[in-house]
A and B are shown apart, each in its own frame.
Chain A
Amino acid sequence: MPLLDFLNFYLVPGIVLGSIYAVGAIGITLVFGILRFAHFAHGDMATLGAFIALALVAGGMDPWTALPVAMAATAVVAIGVDKAFYDYLKARPKIVTVMASLGVALMLRSVVQVVWGVDPRTYATGIVRPDSYFGILLRPRELYTLASVVLIVVGLALFLRHSKWGKAMRAMSDNPDLARLSGVDNRKVTMLTWAIVGALCAASGFMLGINTELHSMMGWQLLLPMFAAAIVGGVGRVEGAVLGGLVVGIAEELSIFILPAQYKAATAFALLLLILLVRPRGLLNGKVL
């Protein structure tokens, strides 16, 4: 196969898909690392965010303008979900919160199904031809997706690295007892984390939606690759989630060479088991709960 074909039909789609996974996986890794539980409502929160953006687009907004608004709205939803369903479980074993998040997943999904139905939807209709950049074919939406992901990741990394509350989040993930001894307010960090996680959910849902289509199960189908990405990269590591997302996304696209196309979704699962078997801390040496 010519190199360009390989790039255009496998690698580029893999990178686009992988960056979408990465944005979701960052959220999972933040909840896993800071709040210390596996958040199973993550995918369905992404669905909700995607559909909030759809409502804005239906109201006449440009999709890429709707994205930040939907991110903000989903951030509020995430804080609300935490206050309503997770917060009061914090004194109990963390696995109880995992269970509650499974219930929240179901609830968020049924909200989407009641409000928007179960038929597939799109932000914009019509076929868009890709432009050629030195032989590499990219559609505008793919370009915007990659740019947005870079913006989100760099922005988040700068925030975590240099801002006071970003450092507080890292400290809470690193050593919660010591963070409390240092005077970090756990409630504020929790709220901030959910705001960021909600926004990231909406971004990943939106970007999956604009590159494929929206449907009520889209987030649930994102859940496994996103978790695989977070664990492959190393739990608690933002740069790990990005790496893991790309690994899973590209691996899914390349799996077609060895597996029937229907089993694309099995790639994430195989990677997950493999990493748990040989290197449970992930590629970048994260946490193991």
Chain B
Amino acid sequence: MDLLGLANYAVFMAILIGIYALLALGLNIQWGFTGLFNAGIAGFFAIGAYTSAILTSLPAAHRLGGFELPMVLGWVAAMLVAAAIAWPIGKICLRFRSDYLAIATIGIAEIIRLVIRTEGWLTGGVRGITGIPRPFGELPYMQSQLAFLAIVVVLVLLAYMLVERQVNAPWGRMMRAIRDNENAAAAMGKRVADRRLQAFVFGSALMGLAGALFVHFNRSITPEAIDPMIATFLIWIMLILGGSGNNRGAILGAAAIWIIWSVSELLTDRLPTEVAIQAKYARVFIIGLTLQLVLRFRPEGIVPERQAGAASSRR
């Protein structure tokens, strides 16, 4: 690979890392600060992606949509729809221990996958959606990539600052106090319940936004683009490895895991075909194992949560 190719690849990677960082930040709000177990990240990501795609893409004969709305509107709608789906789920499940939320989010991700595959009139079915615009897409390739990177970086920074501000406010302290006591959830007051719901909804909205960014970066989307389990699991390992409860850790984890994941894909792609397929699955095994090792040997992650007072230790 020549230098230019390398630079291209680096920018490409950086954009995807930024998108994953948004997802990891969303999960950090839910799990890191509030202790809510979202096992359906891919679902919220897909909802964001498809919402923005339908609203902003060019018209197509085989499906509804192609409204050619401005992209910013698509992004806002992506967040809103993801939030609108998260709200009832959270409303029903947050009364119980987080196990129930985990089950329900696995369920909602499955349903979203079913809808995307089945409702061809809306989502293009297996053909998916193409003709999705890209911000500054008319610029030459490199400039366009850099412009997109700039947008992603700005959005990640914005999300980061917003979350940091909340976490350092009394809200964050309250959330951490509840998070560290599993049984408190049942006994808490309405105000706390509302705050937890807000955390779940807002985190899911960020995941929706990440989906929208992805779809505009990719310019097309098919149901195959998102493997629900692996996508969800990658975000989890990013957050846990980076340092759950620490926003910088979340971003760092996103970068580290995404680089490892894509480089290992480059390597396995070079193997002979029969071995390559097996190596692809072995890669998933290693990701699963990595989580176990992190949980066992470094549960606080690379960048541990800052100890705001002595109370928030979380063995």
Residues of B within 8 A of A181 (CB): none
Cα-based distance from A79 to B241 in the complex (angstroms): 27
In Å, the complex CA distance between A32 and B117 comes to 33
- Determine the residue in chain A with the shortest Cβ distance to B240: A99
- Please tell me if A280 contacts chain B, counting CB pairs below 8 Å: yes
Contact with A95, one of B182, B283, B292, B315 (Cβ below 8 angstroms): B182
**Closest-CB distance, B55 to chain A (whole angstroms):** 24
Q: How many A-B residue pairs have CB under 8 A?
A: 131
Which residues of chain B from 209 to 234 have any CB-CB distance to chain A below 8 Å in the complex?
229-230, 233
Q: Using an 8 Å CB-CB cutoff, how does the interface string of B24-43 with A read, 1 for contact, 0 for none?
A: 00000000000101010000
B72 at the interface (CB under 8 A from A): no
Are the C-beta atoms of A110 and B118 separated by less than 8 Å? no
Q: Is A100 an interface residue, CB under 8 A from the partner?
A: yes
The CA of A81 and the CA of B236, in the complex, are separated in Å by: 20
**By the criterion CB–CB under 8 Å, are A276 and B96 in contact?**
yes
Interface check A220, CB cutoff 8 A: yes
A104 with B288, Cβ < 8 A, contacts A38-B103, A276-B96 known: yes
The verdict on B137 contacting chain A, using a C-beta distance below 8 Å, is no
Shortest distance in angstroms between B87's beta carbon and chain A's nearest beta carbon? 13
Q: Which of B110, B111, B285 contacts A106 (CB 8 A)?
A: B285
CA distance A231 to B96 in the complex (A): 12
In the complex the two chains form, is B284's CB within 8 Å of A95's CB? no
**A55 interface residue, CB < 8 Å from B?**
no
Chain B residues within an 8 Å CB radius of A289: 96-97, 99-100
Give the residues in chain A near B95, CB-CB below 8 Å: 280
A224-B103, A273-B104, A276-B92 as given contacts; A100 in contact with B295, CB under 8 Å: yes
Question: CB distance A280 to B284 under 8 Å?
Answer: no
Our pick among A91, A99, A262 for the contact of B37 (Cβ within 8 Å) is A99
**Complex-state Cα separation, A272 to B108, whole angstroms:** 11
Given A100-B292, A106-B287, A266-B114, answer yes or no on A95-B37 (Cβ-Cβ < 8 Å). yes
For A265-289 the 0/1 string (1 means CB < 8 A from B) is 1101100110011001000000011
Binary flags per residue of A64-77, CB closer than 8 Å to B gives 1, else 0: 00000000000000
Contact A276 B182 (CB under 8 A): no
Q: Which chain A residues border B93 with CB–CB below 8 Å?
A: 276
Whether, in the assembled complex, A154 has its beta carbon less than 8 Å from a beta carbon of chain B, the answer is no
- Docked Cα-Cα span, A57 to B65, in Å, equals 51
**Chain A 156-196 interface mask (CB, 8 Å, partner B; 1/0):** 00000000000000000000000000000000000000000
Is A37's CB within 8 Å of the partner chain B?
yes
> Contact between B114 and A265 (Cβ–Cβ < 8 Å)?
yes
Q: Is B81's CB within 8 Å of the partner chain A?
A: no
Q: Is A134 an interface residue (CB 8 A)?
A: no
- Using a CB-CB cutoff of 8 Å, which residues 273-315 of chain B contact chain A? 277-278, 281-285, 287-289, 291-292, 295-296, 299, 315
- Closest chain-B Cβ to A213's Cβ sits at a distance in Å of 19
Is there an interface contact between A92 and B299, defined as CB atoms closer than 8 Å?
yes
Chain B binding site: helix, strand, loop or mixed by DSSP? helix
The reply on B58 being an interface residue by CB < 8 A is no
Query: Which residues from B are CB-within-8-Å of A268?
Result: 107
Is the Cβ of B114 less than 8 Å from the Cβ of A85? no
Q: Is A150 engaged at the interface, CB distance under 8 Å to the other chain?
A: no
Q: Is the CB of A102 within 8 A of B295?
A: no
Residues of A with C-beta under 8 A to B299: 92, 96
Asked if A91 and B315 sit within 8 Å, CB to CB, the answer is: yes
Whether A107 pairs with B289 at a CB distance below 8 angstroms is yes
Q: Does A122 lie at the interface of the complex (its beta carbon under 8 Å from any beta carbon of B)?
A: no
**Residue A155 lies at the interface, judged by CB distance under 8 Å to chain B:** no
- Asked if A51 is at the interface of the complex by the 8 Å CB criterion, the answer is no
Assess whether A93 is in contact with B182, with CB atoms less than 8 Å apart: yes
In contact, B99 and A38 (Cβ under 8 angstroms)? yes
Residues of B near A92 (CB, < 8 A) are 299, 315
Q: Which residues of B contact A265 (CB under 8 A)?
A: 110-111, 114
Query: 12 pairs across A/B with beta carbons < 8 Å?
Result: A40-B106, A88-B296, A99-B291, A103-B233, A106-B284, A107-B289, A110-B285, A224-B110, A265-B111, A269-B111, A277-B92, A280-B95
A93-B182, A102-B236, A107-B292 known, 16 other contacts, Cβ within 8 Å: A85-B292, A95-B98, A99-B37, A99-B291, A103-B233, A104-B288, A110-B282, A263-B114, A266-B114, A269-B104, A269-B107, A272-B104, A272-B107, A273-B92, A276-B100, A280-B95
The interface of chain A, by Cβ under 8 A from chain B, is: 32, 37-38, 40, 84-85, 88-89, 91-96, 98-100, 102-107, 109-111, 113-114, 117, 220, 223-224, 227, 231, 260, 262-263, 265-266, 268-269, 272-273, 276-277, 280, 288-289
Which residues of B approach A to under 8 Å, CB–CB?
A: 35, 37, 39, 89, 92-93, 95-100, 102-104, 106-108, 110-111, 114, 117-118, 182, 229-230, 233, 236, 240, 277-278, 281-285, 287-289, 291-292, 295-296, 299, 315
